[in-house]
Structure 1
Amino acid sequence: MAKVSAKRQITLPVDQCISAHINAGDDVISFVDRQGVISIVKKQAGAAKGILKNIPVEAVVSEQESLESAVRK
């Protein structure tokens, strides 16, 4: 069983890392659901490729326009 260190670090068991193809130095993301369950997912280059392909993009948006659009939502 893993324990949380004083720095809130957790060492993952080797067998879980092997199953999830997580190696030393890999980037991971953690998520917490509403029941408090923590999921750890290995970040993979290109995993989101294509998700945004059908969204129209304005070529030039100023920082101010970006901030204003975020405030309006």
Structure 2
Amino acid sequence: MPKVSAKRQITLPVSQCEALGIEPGDDVESFVAHGQLTIVKKQKGAARGVLRHVQGNPSMTDEESLASSLL
């Protein structure tokens, strides 16, 4: 059973890493949902195309764009 170190680090069991394809040096993300901690291996390019439908307005300055998002 893994324990949390003084630096709040957790060592994952080898069997779990192998099952998920997690290798030393891989990036993972953790989040809490419904009182449970979930760790997910980040996949390179997984978000590619997510904002493809968003259209920019080239006539708007960065400042105007930022101000409009705060409304």
TM-score range, shorter chain: 0.7 to 0.9
Identity of counterpart residues, as a percentage? 54
Structure 1 length-normalised TM: 0.80
Q: Aligned residues, how many? A: 70
Root-mean-square deviation over aligned CA pairs: 1.7
Summarize deviations over 1:27-64 as a string: whole Å, max 9, x none.
1100101x3101101111110112211121235742x3
> Do the aligned partners of residues 57 and 26 (structure 1) sit closer, same or farther apart at CA in structure 2, a change above 3 Å counting?
same
Query: Secondary structure at the residue paired with 1:68?
Result: helix
- Ranges in structure 2 where 5+ consecutive residues have no aligned partner: none
Indicate the structure (1 or 2) with the bigger Cα radius of gyration. 2
Moved over 6 A (4+): none
* Partner residue, 1:38: 37
Structure 2 length-normalised TM: 0.82
